[in-house]
Amino acid sequence: MIFRLAIASLFARALTVGMTVLAIALSVALFLGVEKVRTGAKASFADTISGTDLIVGARSGSVQLLLYSVFRIGNATNNVTWESYQDIAARPDVEWIVPISLGDSHRQFRVMGTSSAFFEHYKYRQGRSLAVADGVLMDDLFDTVIGADVAATLGYSVDDPIVVAHGLASFTEHKDQPFRVSGILEKTGTPVDRTVIVSMEAIEAIHVDWQSGAQMPGQSTPVEVIRQMDLTPKAVTAALVGVESPLQTFALQRAINEYRQEPLLAILPGVALQELWGIVGIAETALLAVSAMVVVTALIGMMATIFSSLNERRREMAIFRAMGARPATILSMLVFEAMVMAAVGALFGLLFLYLGLIIAQPILDSAFGMWLPIDAPTLREFWVIVAVVCAGAIVSLVPALRAYRMSVADGMMVKT
Amino acid sequence: MMGAVLELSDIGYRWPGRAAFSLTVPDLTVQRGESVLLLGESGSGKSTLLSLICGTILPDRGTVRIAGTEVSKLSARARDRFRAEQIGVIFQQFNLLPFGSVTDNILLPLRFAPQRRKRAGDGAAEAVKLCTALGLPKDIIQAKATTLSVGQQQRVAVARALIGQPPLIIADEPTSALDADSQTAFLDLLFAQTAKHQTALLMVSHDPRLGDRFDRVIRMEDIAVIERAAA
């Protein structure tokens, strides 16, 4: 009966109680949302590359190799010679190999030279393949396939001409050899969206008149002549490798790392991603800590609400005391009220989270390629709610103890 | 059956924090079933006296005995329980929990007093019976306390004080918020009930005109001494 009266008392103060519950609900939704985005981002990150067993590049750090080969962040310190590439490709345990050649750019987007095998073997989000949204894959030497973001940002459509710039932030352009957009890829949520893809031969072709990073003055080989030339690449920046059997992955990695002719590095994408995530983890923890602080703030807000209600509830407490309630009963009533507010707040927070997810899921997927799964609440969420209710009880002890002292001092007489 | 339901003897109480301010009550006795009007102006120590009787404060010396039990010897916890069992309290006004229904309010003391609950039997039925006896409309029982008029609220407070038949009812100016007609009606109902249940009534008021309806009228200044030592 006491607890029923406590709940009736909460309803009687619906406005302030509602605001408090709302604050708790929003903070809990934020906390759980950050948690969702965090795991979602991690999953999306891991989804950037799948189906590739090894990434091979010049010897550097594994995170660096992963960043420039998959995420197009940073630069390769060195290339892999075509001979080494051919050596690896010829190994019996290699099922497939895809060359990647980086170094040029178009506007703010990177240009990647590769072979048609890339479209066949590059997989993202648990084995999804790239698909052409508009047009076709490269057909001609000067054809290019562009990612969805490139097309959207620069307003390109199929058959538009584009000029590739040498280097990454350069005013020197390969004007003599303009490309034609042959196809636009579907949105993937991976760095492929921000990549201009050309063939390995095209990379060679635009560098025919270049030596040591500069165009040779006065020299300009006509396009017709270039087309007749031998455009076998001299080097690749990195290569994606698939093995015949997963059991051979480590043996192949070792063999590449111990390759005598050239210092090479082979990495397992999953392991390198873990390493990278370990670095990003600090920011992730900070974000979680901030949202936990928001929950704490909301609970302190609740404490302030209970505090400010104490004076106007003196009469109520005096009635309880006159009827024989102990000060301890008053204390436990206040703690119970706080726990009810915290629990209702946390449950509404969970509700807000799911509403938010339903609204945000398609937006986040198309804008950032981040897929947040909508699953049933896990044990983790359950513990978050339990923790909020417990924290609410602890926080409410401060005003409840004050009410305890007040009800001892006031007894059943209130002179107001 | 006669006998004292309330006995105060040689009470001395000093207000905490105000060392030079004290109340002494040499003797105050209320017999079983007796109705006593205690007249006193505000500031005459009435509230303190009621708190001493109800056991929410303890005297520095002397004894408070209710229905044969020495209250000042009980623990704080036992005193709260004892109050719930033995005393019905009616305040001046704002007697009811505004968010509770009339039934909730009437049954509230039973929650803290198991023996009184047993005496009341079917609490809800008893509440209805009391409300009817006190002239409250039948449908009022489930209404929210805030929807009642002041007169109705005071009658609900009487029902709450009477339920489970505690031997003593303490009323602190219960009629001061009522107009003259309502006062008379209220007192008629109150006396009818206390007489029926042989309940002692100690009512505090500053209005001497109520006096002729009580068995006995005592003045605060006759039974108690307040000392205000010069600073």
Shortest distance between the Cα of B161 and any Cα of chain A, in A, equals 9
Name which of B47, B50, B113 is nearest A324 (Cβ-Cβ). Answer: B113
B96–A412 CB contact, under 8 Å: no
Q: With beta carbons less than 8 A apart as the criterion, state whether B168 and B198 touch.
A: no
The residue among A412, A415, A416 with the most chain B CBs within 10 A of its CB, best to mutate, is A412
Stretch (H or E) spanning A47: helix A14-47
Q: With beta carbons less than 8 A apart as the criterion, state whether A100 and A113 touch.
A: yes
| pLDDT tens readout for residues B127-151 | 888 888 888 888 888 888 888 888 8
Stretch (H or E) spanning B151: helix B150-162
User: What ipTM did this prediction achieve?
Assistant: 0.89
| Token digits of residue B43 | 């500031």
pLDDT for res A174: 67
Portion 212-231 of B in contact with A at CB < 8 A: none
Name which of A11, A325, A415 is nearest B80 (Cβ-Cβ). Answer: A325
Report how far residue A358's alpha carbon sits from residue A348's, in angstroms, rounded to the nearest whole number: 15
Distance between the two ends of chain B, CA-based, in angstroms? 49
| Token digits of residue A213 | 């990073």
pTM confidence score: 0.76
Half-sphere exposure of A284 (CA within 13 A, CB side): 14
How many residues are there in chain A? 416
pLDDT for res A217: 67
A326–B51 CB contact, under 8 Å: no
Cα A390–Cα A394–Cα A398 angle in degrees, nearest 5: 155
Neighbours of A376 (CB within 10 A): 6
- pLDDT tens digit at each of 416 positions of chain A: 788 888 888 888 889 999 999 999 999 999 999 888 888 878 777 788 888 999 999 998 899 999 899 888 888 888 999 999 999 999 999 999 999 999 888 888 899 999 989 999 998 887 888 999 888 888 888 899 999 989 988 999 999 888 887 766 555 666 667 889 999 999 888 889 889 999 999 888 888 777 666 666 666 777 777 788 888 888 999 999 999 988 889 999 999 999 999 999 999 998 998 888 888 888 888 988 999 999 999 999 999 999 988 888 888 888 888 888 888 998 999 999 999 999 999 999 999 999 999 998 888 877 776 778 888 888 888 999 999 999 999 999 999 999 898 888 777 776 54
Portion 142-201 of A in contact with B at CB < 8 A: none
Which amino acid is residue A171, in one-letter code? Answer: F
> Least CA distance to B76: which residue of chain A?
A326
Q: With beta carbons less than 8 A apart as the criterion, state whether A53 and A242 touch.
A: yes
A413 and chain B: CB distance < 8 Å anywhere? Answer: yes
Positive or negative, the CA dihedral B195, B199, B200, B206 is negative
Instruction: Tell me the CA distances in angstroms from A227 to A60, A101, A142, A198, one per residue in order.
Output: 35, 19, 10, 15
A325 and chain B: CB distance < 8 Å anywhere? Answer: yes
Nearest to A141 by CA among A85, A81, A204, A220: A204
A316–B50 CB contact, under 8 Å: no
B108 and chain A: CB distance < 8 Å anywhere? Answer: yes
**Contacts of residue B57 in chain A, CB cutoff 8 Å?**
411
Alpha helix ranges (H) inside A186-248: 200-206, 223-228
Instruction: Sort B125 into a burial class: Cβ within 10 Å, 0-12 / 13-18 / 19+.
Output: exposed
Question: Which residues of chain B register pLDDT less than 70?
Answer: 1-2, 18-20, 229-231
Nearest to A262 by CA among A239, A243, A242, A285: A239
| Token digits of residue A61 | 């750090």
B57 and chain A: CB distance < 8 Å anywhere? Answer: yes
Neighbours of A54 (CB within 10 A): 22
pLDDT for res B164: 87
**Contacts of residue B104 in chain A, CB cutoff 8 Å?**
1, 4-5, 8
A15 and chain B: CB distance < 8 Å anywhere? Answer: no
Nearest to A334 by CA among A381, A359, A302, A291: A302
**Contacts of residue B54 in chain A, CB cutoff 8 Å?**
322, 411-412
Nearest to A50 by CA among A351, A348, A256, A273: A273
B177 and chain A: CB distance < 8 Å anywhere? Answer: no
Instruction: Tell me the CA distances in angstroms from B151 to B93, B104, B135, B184, B231, one per residue in order.
Output: 9, 18, 11, 11, 44
